[in-house]
Amino acid sequence: MDQYKFEMQGHAFDEGDRLDKLAAGLTALQHVFDAQYRALTEKKRLSEQDRAHFQIRVTRYEDGSFIAYLGAIYTGLQLALPFFAGTPNIWEATKNAFEFVKALYELAHQGKEFQVTQNGDGNTVITSGDTHQVFNGPVYFIGNQMIGALREMDDLLEGDEVERVALEGPGGAPVFELTSDMKGLFYPPTQVDETPIRLTCDIYDFNKYDKVGKARVPPDQAIPPGNYKFKNIGDQAVDDFILSMTEPQVTLSCLIKYQHDPLSESRIAEILVMRVAA
């Protein structure tokens, strides 16, 4: 098999390896491989038999930057995975899915309108204005499965402590690569509706140190019913929020922060509370 390697670069690995970064990085890498497998087999989780078919193993380490050379056992894998036209192997499928997701979130963070369509030949196209980007293979399905792992890797990035996380193929060609200047890219952009609203709800949790909590919003309010996170952005005393938990209902004067995720429906990220009253 051609050699692949997983690398994390930064001062965190100058004198030995920071265990928290190392463990989190390898866990995120495993989640990338699990996502590949689930997407291509249409399974929700890997069974013990699947693990026997698909195993990723670290075969060698190098000092300085954390570099792990990967070996894989593909016993029966060709029978287990339905490879698609345009994706000759699982690594190429991962590379295509990463580029697809990266393009989606770049457009989302730029606030640009775009449309995702499927061609009859199995390709996926992102159209934004006069620009068309074409991606081979089941990139939408793999991307949906892989986004959680990419966010785990995004969390690893920490200035010059961890400035690059990458999976590389033969000749150093990246399968995927995240760098410090990309931090936050794979999280959905948010937008605050600056129009104040009033909500009658039940506050059932509050952290006095972080000034955040949770509120249950009933039907017939300005937003759909459900449980929401909220943050105190006003100058009201913390005690008022703590006392509000003893009331069956309170009224919030607030703003709504929306999350616009290109891989799922937009939703409310949190409620920004300016004032609470019984």
DSSP string spanning 216-251? EE-SSSSS-SEEEEEEE-SS--HHHHHHHTTSS-EE
End-to-end Cα, the chain, rounded Å:
67
pLDDT of residue 8: 92
pLDDT of residue 121: 73
At residue 18, φ and ψ (nearest 5 deg) are: -65, 120
Whether residues 118 and 201 share a domain: the answer is no
Whether residues 165 and 206 share a domain: the answer is no
Distance of CA 240 to the CA centre of its chain: 35
* 216-233 residue pLDDT tens: 999 999 999 999 999 999
Whether residues 162 and 245 share a domain: the answer is no
pLDDT of residue 275: 96
CA distance 258 to 243: 28
Boundary-marking domain end, from 182, 215, 237: 182
CA distance 221 to 201: 9
Residue-range definition of the domain harbouring residue 270: 190-277
Most distant CA atoms of the chain, gap in Å: 67
Alpha carbons within 13 A on the beta-carbon side of 93: 27
pLDDT of residue 39: 74
Whether residues 19 and 79 share a domain: the answer is yes
pLDDT of residue 122: 75
230 neighbors 215 (Cβ within 8 angstroms): yes
Whether residues 125 and 259 share a domain: the answer is no
CA distance 59 to 263: 35
Boundary-marking domain end, from 144, 165, 182: 182
What Cα–Cα distance (Å) separates residue 97 from each residue in 20, 90, 140, 211, 220? 27, 11, 7, 38, 41
Q: Which residue has 């001062």 as its token pair?
A: 11
Number of H helices, E strands in the chain: 6, 13
pLDDT of residue 84: 44
Whether residues 170 and 224 share a domain: the answer is no
Which segments of the chain have a pLDDT < 50?
A: 1, 74-80, 83-87
At residue 231, φ and ψ (nearest 5 deg) are: -130, 135
pLDDT of residue 137: 82
pLDDT of residue 2: 55
